[in-house]
Amino acid sequence: MDGLSRWAFVLHIGVFVLWLPICVLDYASMKDRSFFWKGFSQGKPKWVIPSIKLLGLFFALHFLLFLIETHAASPQINNGQYVLNNHGQILKVITQREYLHLKGAELRLFATGWMSFYFVSLAYWWFPRPARASSNNERSQRLSLG
């Protein structure tokens, strides 16, 4: 995980690169609390929303397990010792085996988060989005005037 930090950063930024246009394009629709379960699902296969929910649950489970295992701290190597570090405060000295286990859990946490967020953006961009009613009205007005 330590050697992957640059790529992890790129994957984190990629989520925002794909989500910001979604937020801009559907800002008005997102004000409706049911957008992601009703508006988002329009024009998409029936399996998309259950898959999003399942991946979100999978991510939440890994997040919760990671918090419990690490006591909400980060496994690190500090002065040659394997420790759980919480913002500069050493909570516990751990063994190399525990360190490797927790680093694996950290990688799984990031991987499930990326799967969850990238899948939502993939579903948004891959499947056709229904035309907005306001844009259809504007087009019909332009055609009748032209």
136 in a structural domain: no
Question: Do the domain assignments include residue 12?
Answer: yes
Asked, for residue 143, whether it belongs to a domain, the answer is no
Residue 140: pLDDT over 70: no
Domain of 31 in residue numbering reads as 2-127
pLDDT in tens, 20-66: 887 787 776 667 666 666 667 778 899 998 999 999 999 999 999 99
Evaluate whether residue 118 is within a structural domain.
yes
What confidence tens digit (pLDDT) does each residue in 1-24 have? 566 677 778 888 888 898 888 778
Share of the chain above pLDDT 90, in %: 44
Is residue 132 included in any domain, yes or no?
no
Work out how many domains the chain is built from and give that number: 1
pLDDT of residue 135: 47
pLDDT at 20: 87
SS3 of the chain: the string is: CHHHHHHHHHHHHHHHHHHHHHHHHCHHHHCCCCHHHHHCCCCCCCCHHHHHHHHHHHHHHHHHHHHHHHCCCEEEEECCEEEEEECCEEEEEECHHHHHHHHHHHHHHHHHHHHHHHHHHHHHHHCCCCCCHHHHHHHHHHHHHC
Whether 46 is in a domain gets the answer: yes
In a domain, 54, yes or no: yes
Provide the whole-model pTM.
0.72
